Amino acid sequence: MSRLEFQSRRQAGLAALYLGVFATIWFSVPAAEQPLRALLVVASGAALVTAVIGAVVVARSRGPVAHDRAADRRYLLIVLAEFAAAGLGAVVLALVGWSEFIPVLVCAVVGLHFFPLVPVLRDPLLRLLGAAMCVVALAGLVTALATAVSAGLVVGTGAGLLLLGYAVLALLRTARQR
């Protein structure tokens, strides 16, 4: 396996691992009645299995890992900014009594954080994921404002499906490299 293939397989495994875990978390956000609740539990299980498969891909991708310290630093700063914005925004929304909209804010921040990650991770498909996550956040906001359906239901389900789909796509791209 060439060094480039190794890095790509490892990166795909990490994407599946991280996004599988976060998809599992998003699927646990909505308070839903049956049968949707059962579907969310099944989807959460599928996301967790995807994360485990991603971890196996990473573990099997042995070899020297070339570290780009500048890229690592940019990645860390982007993720820290994401967590800070989501955390502070959630606190502000809770303080003003708009806790129902916390999932909308977090989903939008997560979607936006994918855009600066494109050059860092060298994955242009992250633009589509970021845009789709922002659309889900907007759909959750509009739905909550216009209907009795909670924003958390729309955003948790939508974000979970998007992250799970991208994690599976990362694994499929890795399988094609073999």
Tell me what the mean pLDDT of segment 101-109 comes to: 98
Specify the range with the lowest mean pLDDT, choosing from 64-73, 101-110, 163-172.
64-73
- Using alpha carbons, list the distances in angstroms from residue 72 to 111, 127, 152: 20, 19, 32
The sign of the dihedral angle between the CA atoms of 21, 57, 11, 46 is negative
pLDDT at 171: 93
Burial class of 5 by CB neighbour count within 10 A (0 to 12, 13 to 18, 19+): middle
User: Could you report the per-residue pLDDT of 136-163, keeping only the tens digit for each?
Assistant: 999 999 999 999 999 999 999 999 999 9
Burial class of 60 by CB neighbour count within 10 A (0 to 12, 13 to 18, 19+): exposed
* pLDDT for residue 3 is more than 50: no
* pLDDT for residue 7 is more than 70: no
User: Could you report the per-residue pLDDT of 43-84, keeping only the tens digit for each?
Assistant: 999 999 999 999 999 998 876 666 778 888 999 999 999 999
Q: Which amino acid is at 170?
A: A
